[in-house]
Amino acid sequence: MTAKLSHEEISSALQDLAGWQLVQGRVEKTFAFDSYAQGVAFAVKVALLAEKTDHHPDSLEIMWGKVRVAYVTHSAGGVTRKDLEAAAQVDALV
């Protein structure tokens, strides 16, 4: 099992992940798009990535022109390296 990271470890790692923040015990980022369809297409890419890596977002929220992605590893009781790796992979999808 992947170990839960400390607040300091998460804060340090987030310095390399532009736009990601620690919010209510999970890392999250809101991505902006020019249309609803672009946001949905991005969300589908995130979903396919999750299936491929077997690590799924805690939340994948589609709004008009925005998609919010959030990660936390419930089995570890908080944010893990796996969540931060997933965040970096999601960034690479844009």
| Domain residue spans of the chain | 7-93
In angstroms, rounded to a whole number, what is the distance separating the alpha carbons of residues 92 and 94?
Answer: 6
* pLDDT (tens digit per residue) in 37-66: 999 999 999 999 999 999 999 999 999 999
d(CA 30, CA 69) in angstroms, rounded, equals 6
| 1-31 tens-digit pLDDT | 689 999 999 999 999 999 999 999 999 999 9
pLDDT band of residue 69 (cuts 50, 70, 90) is: very high
pLDDT at 1: 62
DSSP for 30-94?
EEE-SSHHHHHHHHHHHHHHHHHHT---SEEEEETTEEEEEE-BGGGTB--HHHHHHHHHHHHH-
State the pTM of this model.
0.94
* pLDDT over threshold 70, residue 72: yes
Residue 2 pLDDT: 84
The domain made up of 7-93 has a fold known as Gyrase A; domain 2 (3.30.1360)
SS3 at position 23: strand
Q: How far apart are CA 30 and CA 36, in angstroms?
A: 14
User: 21 in helix, strand or coil?
Assistant: strand
Q: Which two tokens stand for residue 69?
A: 């992605």
